[in-house]
Structure 1
């Protein structure tokens, strides 16, 4: 699904009104009806408090007040935080209608601020109609006090289009923002709703149709997309009846050292769990017995080692066997000994698609010139700390501008880049970016990155387009984590549990 900027959505609104002759007031009515329908699912007959600000957002709230008054059993009250003249012309029409219907409305004045704020506590549901997606200035003064009071109360909070105070483009908070239980956004999700910290404010996100021709969204050129279940279902590799293990690809995983054998074990298991034909783990000879005891289905090759990690001679072993495999994963549990640089170079100068993760990423700044001219598909999977090292930036700079850094690195060095965050960001080599909405805090544990590397590698081995393998891999891991956490909790979830639940995430796609 496309993720739109506020400016793009405003342009779509303009085209709907000017080119398609759809009155703006009709769009406002449709928007209100979608929120009305949502509220009636659980909140029929309850006390609804609608807090209206300026512009169209306040108008949406007033249109909702009209519908609830006429067509529901709810007790409706409107708090007007903005002066009526600050509404759009369409919004003012609904203000007049609400007055004609004698809806209980309280206008904020200089002498009634405390009484106004106290009203916020006296409702079952608060509808946030203060500010929309185009807000660019910090929230101060009375609006800051209103939002503070909303966030302090225990009432259910529903935000119209976006929680007030959240930047619709960057996801950043303009000083303070409403913490909603639900956000009802119109026609398409806004980019900022998928970014941090906005994801901590939106609650349940619903995208609703308000009658704008879908053609206008289809004609809008974007480079930002969300990862959705329907798209992922279409990406699942086919499983022909007449086939053998070779038909589903041969994976080589490279990593592990004494004390860190578990990482390459997780990578290898995960590759198998998503359907590839064979997996071979190349590990230091000193941990061969550990690997073979842990892995039943995975074949293992012991490479020359020194003090439990790959020695310089391990590159010779890799040269002898690399041609036998379709895709390579390198890095999990490997360690950062200087002898490993030659291994990384050997992979980069080969024609094998590869996924580079964990300790292998440590060496990438030394071989960026090789990476940039590499022809075979390459996927890097850094977390913010690793991304900071790759780009020569600070971790805070990465966290403040994750899209910019991920896209720029992917395009500059011709590699698919997966930045592992609260909601993972995937950038392709053309500057397109895909943001995943699934996953939970249970993934913030050792081994999750190793498992993701195996999942993506296993999918690539099945002749998937690399960017599709990246998207599907991220989706499957995070969806598996969501399913597993319902049984085990986010506290107890381990990377190995997520691997076990990959089958359920796949079955869910097959059964939808």
Structure 2
């Protein structure tokens, strides 16, 4: 796993390293500059003629050190200093003085000329206000210059906490992120401004993040084998959970099929689909492994019996929003005592009956996309996009559920837990049915014995890795939701093999 701190959390780690570990700030700065130059060389950036733009904070100090190291490698380097001398941090002042002592040109106005590379070390991770005035003008000119664009830690003008463009921002081809990639270069639109991001180890101690709940993290492929539910040699289908899928209204057999197949694919032992009667024949043909139970109208006694049978419940995929669907949701949430996943129409119905969120007595996972979440919150999608993290946290503080907020960067949040931000997946997954597959994967992991939060995190990541595997085979244009299931199978097989190998070596 990797932490994704914002500027505040990164500054806390920096201060902790300086005070508790005893590494001076100027030493960290030297490491940062060295890693930046190494990354530029690794990416084969032409450093024969480089312009470095520096501010007066420690990001500017990093830039002055980068300029010195490049000059030592026979690069023709010019520094444009856009800050105020009165505002120089002690470390930036030291680096600026060294650069000047070495005869590196330091100018206050952008010089004319062509550069093979432009390095942005203007504003850093601490920026919280709109960029305006001389800084905005300089950023605009830097973006217009030819040559490779390199951002030191984060592109200037990008909010490190939200990814929002604060007025204007540097457009990088490469961002060298010190110790950790910042949350602002993972979330959009900051992701688009960062280019390729290379996290660079510079000696900052981030171990104390383990005890901080309000920090984000992401997973890496190697985490799959360590997080999957354990499967025992001495087991049977009941060992891996009886799953009730309340899915598929008239004409929506596809949603029921995709979600149920994903449940089986992610390891569940037995799946029963409770669906509208007209879907019976279709589902029996498409998924003969599943038990099919049907309704024509709401039957409370039948539903109650099914809820008693189940170890895990999923409701909402293709459920519809009619009166029968509403009754099914109300009874499920009030009568369910096992973990439950609510998706799609289940969430749309919840938006009309928010009181149900506090009446349910089961561990609940909600999987809304941005439009569905805006309905739950009573705000517009645009408002949610502007402040998704704060609104999501307010929701989970008030509601005990795990919330999987689906978007190009899906976030999993629960009160008292660290936020998971998914960085896997691709735009080929933006197809009808993809959400049904995700709901099924999370449900299958629940059936395998993971708790609600861990099932949601691993389910989101596994679903995304499956999407990446499917794109490798099929490309992004023609990828369909069912192809995700094939990709998930590939990832699970690989993870199972890695897990077996880890046990052998241990």
Task: Render the CA deviation track for 1:448-502: whole Å, top value 9, x for unaligned.
Answer: 1111100000110001111000000000111221222233232222211111100
- The answer to whether the aligner puts 1:196 opposite 2:188 as a matched pair is yes
Does the Cα contact within 8 Å between 1:368 and 1:413 map onto a contact in 2? no
Following TM superposition, by how much is the alpha carbon of 1:45 offset from its aligned partner in structure 2, in angstroms?
5.7
Q: Which stretch has the larger CA shift, 5-14 or 321-330? A: 5-14
1:127 matched residue in structure 2:
119
1:226 matched residue in structure 2:
217
Tell me, in whole angstroms, the C-alpha distance in 2 between the residues paired with 1:297 and 1:134: 55
Change (3 A) 1:223 1:286: same
Q: How does 1:273-422 map to 2 (within 5 A)?
A: 273-303=265-295, 305=296, 311-313=297-299, 315-348=300-333, 349-422=335-408
Following TM superposition, by how much is the alpha carbon of 1:37 offset from its aligned partner in structure 2, in angstroms?
1.6
Change (3 A) 1:228 1:317: same
1:58 matched residue in structure 2:
60
- The answer to whether the aligner puts 1:102 opposite 2:103 as a matched pair is yes
* TM-score normalised by the chain length of structure 1: 0.90
Tell me, in whole angstroms, the C-alpha distance in 2 between the residues paired with 1:393 and 1:74: 53
Tell me, in whole angstroms, the C-alpha distance in 1 between the residues paired with 2:89 and 2:20: 20
1:454 matched residue in structure 2:
440
2:203 matched residue in structure 1:
211
Q: Please, what is the CA RMSD of the aligned residues?
A: 2.3
Change (3 A) 1:511 1:12: same
Does the Cα contact within 8 Å between 2:243 and 2:311 map onto a contact in 1? yes
Change (3 A) 1:215 1:339: closer
Does the Cα contact within 8 Å between 1:2 and 1:222 map onto a contact in 2? no
1:5 matched residue in structure 2:
6
Tell me, in whole angstroms, the C-alpha distance in 1 between the residues paired with 2:361 and 2:244: 19
Does the Cα contact within 8 Å between 2:67 and 2:77 map onto a contact in 1? yes
Task: Render the CA deviation track for 1:391-448: whole Å, top value 9, x for unaligned.
Answer: 2222222222111222222231211111111101111133642211122222222111
Change (3 A) 1:145 1:487: farther
Following TM superposition, by how much is the alpha carbon of 1:213 offset from its aligned partner in structure 2, in angstroms?
3.5
Following TM superposition, by how much is the alpha carbon of 1:511 offset from its aligned partner in structure 2, in angstroms?
5.2
| SS of residue in 1 equivalent to 2:408 | coil
Task: Render the CA deviation track for 1:133-178: whole Å, top value 9, x for unaligned.
Answer: 1112222233223322343456332211111001112321111111
2:173 to 165, 169, 181: 181
Q: Which stretch has the larger CA shift, 493-502 or 206-215? A: 206-215
2:149 to 157, 167, 170: 157
1:425 matched residue in structure 2:
411
Does the Cα contact within 8 Å between 2:354 and 2:376 map onto a contact in 1? no
Change (3 A) 1:395 1:88: same
Does the Cα contact within 8 Å between 1:168 and 1:193 map onto a contact in 2? yes
Does the Cα contact within 8 Å between 1:406 and 1:425 map onto a contact in 2? no
Tell me, in whole angstroms, the C-alpha distance in 2 between the residues paired with 1:498 and 1:26: 47
Does the Cα contact within 8 Å between 1:138 and 1:175 map onto a contact in 2? yes
Change (3 A) 1:429 1:12: closer
Does the Cα contact within 8 Å between 2:426 and 2:464 map onto a contact in 1? yes
Tell me, in whole angstroms, the C-alpha distance in 2 between the residues paired with 1:429 and 1:213: 26
Tell me, in whole angstroms, the C-alpha distance in 2 between the residues paired with 1:176 and 1:135: 12
Change (3 A) 1:154 1:494: farther
* TM-score normalised by the chain length of structure 2: 0.91
Tell me, in whole angstroms, the C-alpha distance in 1 between the residues paired with 2:169 and 2:495: 35
2:140 matched residue in structure 1:
148
2:71 to 69, 72, 75: 69
Q: Which runs of 4+ in 1 moved over 4 A?
A: 83-86, 214-219
Change (3 A) 1:215 1:278: closer
Does the Cα contact within 8 Å between 2:115 and 2:146 map onto a contact in 1? no
- The answer to whether the aligner puts 1:495 opposite 2:481 as a matched pair is yes
